[in-house]
Amino acid sequence: MKLPAILRLVFVFAVAFAAAGLGRAEGARERMEQRLPALDAMKMRGVVGENNQGFLEVRNGGGDEAARLVADENQDRTIVYENIAKKFNTTPEDVGHRRARKIAENSSPGVWLQAPDGTWYQKK
């Protein structure tokens, strides 16, 4: 089930707020919020999928725009995951894996997701 836009924004704000204490995270919230509509549209077209590590991957025919958006989003997610990991005394990889599970649970039907074993599937 797709999260309502307001809940997605609340998540983005919460994640960015957790990262806001460090200089590297400055602006992450705004960048993630601005990218959200374009990334959601690409997910629904099957151009972009969510992998099992909490990051995006270009899947089919996204071209330069998709590659740029995915790279930018993953860079911000890396910053956020590192900051959350420091706060909770865990690893960024653990944060990413946990986030991947939540993303999979909350994704809309039709979005491509990567299972823990590495296989890709389209959410029903």
Domain ranges (residues) in the chain: 5-122
Query: For the chain (length 124 residues), average pLDDT per consecutive 10?
Result: 54 52 64 93 96 96 92 95 93 98 96 98 97
Contact between residue 120 and residue 79 where contact means Cβ atoms under 8 Å apart: no
Contact between residue 39 and residue 49 where contact means Cβ atoms under 8 Å apart: no
Give CA–CA dist 54/68, Å, rounded.
Answer: 17
pTM: 0.80
Cα-flanking dihedrals φ and ψ of residue 113, to 5°?
-130, 155
Give CA–CA dist 61/51, Å, rounded.
Answer: 17
Alpha helices in the chain (DSSP H): 5-19, 28-44, 63-87, 92-106
